[in-house]
Amino acid sequence: MILNLLKKELKDISCQSLIVFTKSSAGKDRLATIANSDLSKKYASLLEEKTISGKALEAVTIREANFGGFRNLIFIGLGEDKDLDQEGLRQAAAAAYDALKALKVKEAIISFDGVKGTTKEAPSFVKALAEGLTLASYSFDQLKSKKAKVTTAKAKSDEESEGQKLQIHVVSRAAQEKSVKAAFQEGIITAECVNFARYLGDMPGNLMTPKILAEEAQKAAQGTKIKVTVWDKNRIIKEKMGGLLGVSLGSSEEPRFIIMEYKGGKTHQKPLIFVGKGLTFDSGGISIKPSAGMEEMKFDMCGGANVIGTMLAAARLKLDVNLIGLVPSTENMPGPSANKPGDVCFARNGKSFEVNNTDAEGRLILADALSYASEQDPGMIIDAATLTGAMVVALGNIHTGYFTRDKELKTSIEKAAKISGELVWNMPLTDQHLKDMKGTYADLSNMSAGKGAGSATATAFLEQFVGEGIPWAHFDIAGTGWAVGNRLNYCTKKGASGVMLRTFVELAKSYE
Ligand code: BES
Ligand code: ZN
Ligand code: ZN
């Protein structure tokens, strides 16, 4: 998809199709983004009968409408004006994208003015529009072999036009305003990075091993100011990362520790460090998982993928902050050298733990990454991980649960998530949770002694590897990392969502 922003009058444009946003506000002109009495008159009956009702996500396509220079018209509902926020527009944009796909057109105009009243809000809304379109344009089909070769000239030209990219031009009177232009670009860049993170997540385990994940991070960082360093197995051993190493031992694939550094801020600014769980496949190891649904465990690296995407977005947006992205990456397999229940490992910070369930592996690799992060004199540490099934039970695929004991950080997270439109929920973390994680033979156990609160006890384990006084938050994306398309129309049904990346970019933007 090619997406651009233009300052043009609709009457001066001819194009295959025009998207008109509509609102359901009673008494007002329902054609929100195009004050055109001809159009209102032409579709008076449809407006009256409420075929075009303006309710949120409604899509009414009128083929061959031949209105002005436009062949087809697509009316997309925004709902009530007073309820419309950026997330509403993001979803409306995705509905518009789907309608264009269904219509099989290759070029469209979206009329933006009138979406939301004041010019003060124009940048954030135009950003949401760009995000919604770009996010909706993501698909993962590169592993399907091409359709059988076509021989006839007709079929060939169809195929060529199939291959032609969809072009969407957003037109607005404010298109040349600096803040609007910048916000539009920011929306595209952020969403492109989400799409890249989704691609990393959607790739199956055999094609997205720790080694490949590290290479992808290196390739993607080329041409940016990000410096990528990758530690291999030998280096991981030398660096005393006993958690990451232990988890990797059951696999024939070597682990990797990926370090991405971006210095956009002042030299003395302490870095904000993002850490992401990069389990490229989690079979459970010796404590093996049931077969049903195990294929989904290719997504166990989504925290890592979303951290890589966050770093890329920050660099492409040229944020003036110092950031580090860390991704411990490995498979969790039951090979002959695998961790066994009862084994004891030492993490980088010297603390020992019993591996009483080899399926609770995420916390072991994060232990080393958090220890390493704490050594870098960070101003803040944020991690994302598909850590516990218990989080799926608690919050489903609606909210991402996050844990922090830092009140200021909690406020920043709530603010950032409000801007990004990603739903988060603050979860409890207390000293009580740690009590359940004490080891019998080692300092800690990777399994809780109690039954409930599995996400919080896992977090209490992680906290043991974060340096004193460092503001830290942990995001458990087990429920929201993939398969959220049933709720969010700009996400695919089954695939990776890229969740938290947009919030993390907002956190980086507000970091001082
Ligand atoms: N990767 C899983 C967590 C997970 C489960 C994510 C389901 C998404 C959906 C993690 O490594 C794991 O298996 N955790 C165990 C921990 C338990 C053994 C203490 C779990 O949650 O069952
Ligand atoms: Zn596991
Ligand atoms: Zn896992």
476 vs 453: CA distance, rounded Å: 13
Name the domain count of the chain: 2
Is residue 382 assigned to a domain? yes
313 vs 506: CA distance, rounded Å: 11
Q: Are residues 25 and 75 in the same domain?
A: yes
Is residue 183 assigned to a domain? no
β-pairing, 70-77 vs 59-62, is antiparallel
Q: What is the pLDDT of residues 2-21, one digit of tens each?
A: 999 999 999 999 999 999 99
For residue 96, name the pLDDT band (cuts at 50, 70, 90).
Answer: very high
Q: Compute, in angstroms, the gap from residue 239 CA to the centroid of ligand 3.
A: 23
Is residue 232 assigned to a domain? yes
Closest CA to 134 of 500, 493, 490: 490
Residue 24 near ligand 1, beta carbon < 6 Å: no
Closest CA to 371 of 254, 493, 463: 463
Ligand 1, atom 16: nearest CA belongs to which residue? 360
What tokens were used for 475? 């995001």
Ligand 1, atom 6: nearest CA belongs to which residue? 478
Among 289, 340, 487, 494, the one annotated catalytic = 289
Residue 361 near ligand 1, beta carbon < 6 Å: yes
Helices (H) and strands (E) in the chain, counts: 16, 18
Out of 173, 197, 226, pick the residue that ends a domain: 173
State which amino acid sits at residue 375: E
Q: Are residues 202 and 125 in the same domain?
A: no
Ligand 1, atom 3: nearest CA belongs to which residue? 388
Pick the atom of ligand 1 nearest to 287's CA.
18
Average pLDDT, the chain: 95
User: Residue 30 has what pLDDT?
Assistant: 82
Q: Are residues 123 and 223 in the same domain?
A: no
247 vs 366: CA distance, rounded Å: 11
Q: Are residues 299 and 425 in the same domain?
A: yes
Q: Are residues 346 and 404 in the same domain?
A: yes
Q: Are residues 355 and 479 in the same domain?
A: yes
Q: Are residues 300 and 339 in the same domain?
A: yes
Is residue 184 assigned to a domain? no
279 vs 300: CA distance, rounded Å: 5
Is residue 222 assigned to a domain? yes
Q: Compute, in angstroms, the gap from residue 278 CA to the centroid of ligand 3.
A: 9
Q: Does 363 qualify as catalytic in the annotation?
A: yes
Q: Are residues 225 and 294 in the same domain?
A: yes
pLDDT higher than 70, residue 26: no
DSSP label of 271: P
Is residue 179 assigned to a domain? no
Among 23, 30, 71, 363, the one annotated catalytic = 363
Query: How many whole angstroms from its chain centre is CA 485?
Result: 13
Residue 303 near ligand 1, beta carbon < 6 Å: no
Q: Are residues 169 and 194 in the same domain?
A: no
Across the range 204-232, mean pLDDT stands at 98
156 vs 170: CA distance, rounded Å: 31
Q: What percentage of the chain has pLDDT greater than the value 90?
A: 89
Least confident of 149-158, 222-231, 263-272, 365-374: 149-158
Q: What is the pLDDT of residues 117-161, one digit of tens each?
A: 777 999 999 999 999 999 999 999 999 987 545 444 444 444 445
For residue 37, name the pLDDT band (cuts at 50, 70, 90).
Answer: confident
User: Residue 147 has what pLDDT?
Assistant: 54
For residue 31, name the pLDDT band (cuts at 50, 70, 90).
Answer: confident
User: Residue 162 has what pLDDT?
Assistant: 54
Q: What is the pLDDT of residues 386-411, one digit of tens each?
A: 999 999 999 999 999 999 999 999 99
Q: Compute, in angstroms, the gap from residue 236 CA to the centroid of ligand 1.
A: 24
Sheet holding 59-62, edge to edge: 2-6, 167-171, 107-111, 15-22, 70-77, 59-62
User: Residue 181 has what pLDDT?
Assistant: 97
Across the range 432-456, mean pLDDT stands at 98
User: Cβ(233)–Cβ(247) under 8 Å?
Assistant: no
Q: Compute, in angstroms, the gap from residue 289 CA to the centroid of ligand 2.
A: 8
Query: Under DSSP, is residue 205 helix (H, G, I), strand (E, B) or coil?
Result: helix
User: Residue 152 has what pLDDT?
Assistant: 47
Q: 58 is in which domain, residue-wise?
A: 2-173
Residue 282 near ligand 1, beta carbon < 6 Å: yes
User: Residue 156 has what pLDDT?
Assistant: 47
Residues with CB under 5 A from ligand 2 (ion): 282, 359, 361
Is residue 459 assigned to a domain? yes
User: Cβ(48)–Cβ(126) under 8 Å?
Assistant: no
Identify the bridge partners of residue 2 per DSSP, sorted by sequence position: 167
34 vs 14: CA distance, rounded Å: 15
Q: Are residues 158 and 207 in the same domain?
A: no
Residues 6+ apart with CB under 8 A from 19: 74, 76, 96, 99, 100, 108, 109, 110, 111
Q: Compute, in angstroms, the gap from residue 203 CA to the centroid of ligand 3.
A: 16
Query: Under DSSP, is residue 353 helix (H, G, I), strand (E, B) or coil?
Result: strand
Q: Are residues 458 and 354 in the same domain?
A: yes
pLDDT higher than 80, residue 25: no
129 vs 110: CA distance, rounded Å: 10
Residue 300 near ligand 1, beta carbon < 6 Å: yes
Residue 329 near ligand 1, beta carbon < 6 Å: no
Q: Write the CA distances from 501 to 245, 274, 275, 305, integer angstroms.
A: 27, 11, 12, 9
Pick the atom of ligand 1 nearest to 454's CA.
19
User: Residue 118 has what pLDDT?
Assistant: 75
The pTM of the whole model exceeds 0.95 = yes
Across the range 307-314, mean pLDDT stands at 98
Q: Are residues 205 and 157 in the same domain?
A: no
Q: Compute, in angstroms, the gap from residue 258 CA to the centroid of ligand 3.
A: 18
143 vs 204: CA distance, rounded Å: 10
User: Residue 33 has what pLDDT?
Assistant: 82
Pick the atom of ligand 1 nearest to 481's CA.
8
User: Cβ(233)–Cβ(249) under 8 Å?
Assistant: no
Across the range 358-369, mean pLDDT stands at 99
CA-based radius of gyration for the chain: 25
The CATH number of the domain holding residue 354 is: 3.40.630.10
The CATH number of the domain holding residue 100 is: 3.40.220.10
What tokens were used for 211? 């080694």
Greater pLDDT, 113 or 153:
113
Q: Compute, in angstroms, the gap from residue 359 CA to the centroid of ligand 3.
A: 7
Residue 40 near ligand 1, beta carbon < 6 Å: no
Ligand 1, atom 22: nearest CA belongs to which residue? 389
What tokens were used for 334? 């039951």
User: Cβ(310)–Cβ(189) under 8 Å?
Assistant: no
What tokens were used for 146? 């091409």
User: Residue 159 has what pLDDT?
Assistant: 47
Residue 388 near ligand 1, beta carbon < 6 Å: yes
